[in-house]
């Protein structure tokens, strides 16, 4: 057991995840530890070395290979941190699979869903129980994560659902994509829409079960929307990047949730964008083109 804080970010070797790891390394104390995780050993080692050497870095930084689609590995790492450190203080589930324009969304569905959704469920299930009092567990979603982005006939699958029910809804969606019935069932073609709604629903499910205890302990579980960020994932989808934030800029609002002493109860279990909780029922299903990577 140690008094120093342990922070972990998934998909942290580039993009927003890396900026979050950098911000945590700068904002935490020298005896705290930031685990910069990702799926590729070399990319993780390179990023961890660079973040550790950054002038602003104060905390210790360690690279750790974690392919989030390996749910056993997610569970093993959570257990290891429980045994070694008594738990974890900050967890950010951030990884996303990169889709390119022109690729078949249906053909990439399994990887996309595994990285964004199956992994989010695994992180919530494995790290939720080892989150220390006063901890933070954030899932990076997007503005598309509010329920209104799905047609009304799908709302019952996610509204008020527990985590098993969210998982069931995700697997129903996956099956519909495989069977070619997703469109007639009402699922948006663009994978990031159902995926982000399901991520927020998963957060809401877990948060509903532990809200009172967490708020009493100063613990925050929430989903976050970073806004449009200039990263390798978003860049192929937009011609005009004049409104995109740098990853470091986009990380700021998320870092303030991670590092602030106080938890705003209005944020708890919600999708938070730049410090404001979005209404879960807001949003409208729009044309497929509008859905691309709306931040």
Ligand X SMILES: NC(=O)c1ccc[n+]([C@@H]2O[C@H](COP(=O)([O-])OP(=O)(O)OC[C@H]3O[C@@H](n4cnc5c(N)ncnc54)[C@H](OP(=O)(O)O)[C@@H]3O)[C@@H](O)[C@H]2O)c1
Give contact residues for ligand X (rule: CB under 6 A): 10-11, 13-17, 38-40, 43, 67-69, 94-98, 115, 140, 142, 226, 228-229, 231-234, 293, 295
Q: Cα–Cα–Cα angle for 86, 91, 95, nearest 5°?
A: 140
41 class by beta-carbon count within 10 Å (0-12 exposed, 13-18 middle, 19+ buried): exposed
Closest approach of Cβ 29 to ligand X, in Å?
A: 25
Closest approach of Cβ 93 to ligand X, in Å?
A: 8
Taking the least distance from each CB to ligand X, the nearer of 39 and 267 is 39
Closest approach of Cβ 230 to ligand X, in Å?
A: 7
Q: What gap in Å lies between CA 287 and CA 280, rounded to an integer?
A: 20
Cβ-count burial 238-249 (b if 16+ within 10 Å, e if not): eeeeeebbebee
Closest approach of Cβ 279 to ligand X, in Å?
A: 18
Taking the least distance from each CB to ligand X, the nearer of 68 and 132 is 68
Taking the least distance from each CB to ligand X, the nearer of 6 and 139 is 139
**273 DSSP β-pair partners:** 225, 276
For 97, the 3-state DSSP assignment is coil
Closest approach of Cβ 258 to ligand X, in Å?
A: 15
Q: Which two tokens stand for residue 116?
A: 């964004």
Taking the least distance from each CB to ligand X, the nearer of 20 and 177 is 20
- Angle between the N-to-C axes of helices 192-217 and 119-127, in degrees from 0 to 180, rounded to the nearest 10: 10
Taking the least distance from each CB to ligand X, the nearer of 126 and 231 is 231
């Amino acid at each position: 057991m140690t008094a120093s804080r342990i922070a972990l970010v998934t998909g942290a070797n580039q993009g927003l995840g890396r900026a979050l790891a950098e911000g945590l390394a700068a904002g935490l104390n020298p005896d705290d530890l930031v685990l910069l995780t990702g799926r590729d050993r070399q990319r993780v080692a390179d990023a961890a070395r660079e973040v550790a050497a950054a002038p602003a870095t104060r905390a210790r930084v360690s690279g750790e290979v974690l392919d989030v689609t390996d749910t056993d590995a997610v569970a093993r790492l959570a257990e290891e941190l429980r045994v070694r450190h008594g738990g974890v203080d900050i967890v950010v589930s951030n990884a996303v699979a990169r889709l390119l324009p022109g690729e078949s969304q249906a053909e990439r569905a399994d990887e996309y869903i595994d990285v964004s959704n199956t992994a989010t469920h695994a992180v919530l299930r494995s790290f939720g129980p080892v989150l220390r009092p006063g901890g933070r567990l954030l899932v990076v979603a997007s503005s598309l994560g509010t329920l209104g982005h799905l047609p009304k006939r799908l709302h019952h699958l996610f509204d008020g659902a527990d985590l098993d029910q969210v998982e069931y809804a995700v697997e129903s969606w996956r099956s519909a994509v495989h069977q070619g019935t997703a469109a007639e069932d009402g699922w948006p073609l663009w994978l990031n829409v159902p995926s982000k709604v399901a991520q927020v629903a998963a957060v809401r499910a877990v948060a509903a079960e532990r809200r009172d205890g967490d708020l009493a302990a100063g613990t925050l579980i929430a989903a976050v929307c970073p806004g449009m960020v200039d990263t390798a994932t978003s860049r192929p989808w937009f011609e005009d990047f004049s409104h995109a934030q740098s990853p470091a800029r986009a990380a700021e609002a998320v870092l303030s949730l991670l590092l602030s002493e106080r938890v705003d109860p209005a944020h708890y279990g919600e999708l938070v964008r730049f410090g404001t909780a979005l209404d879960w029922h807001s949003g409208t299903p729009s044309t497929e083109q509008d859905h691309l990577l709306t931040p």
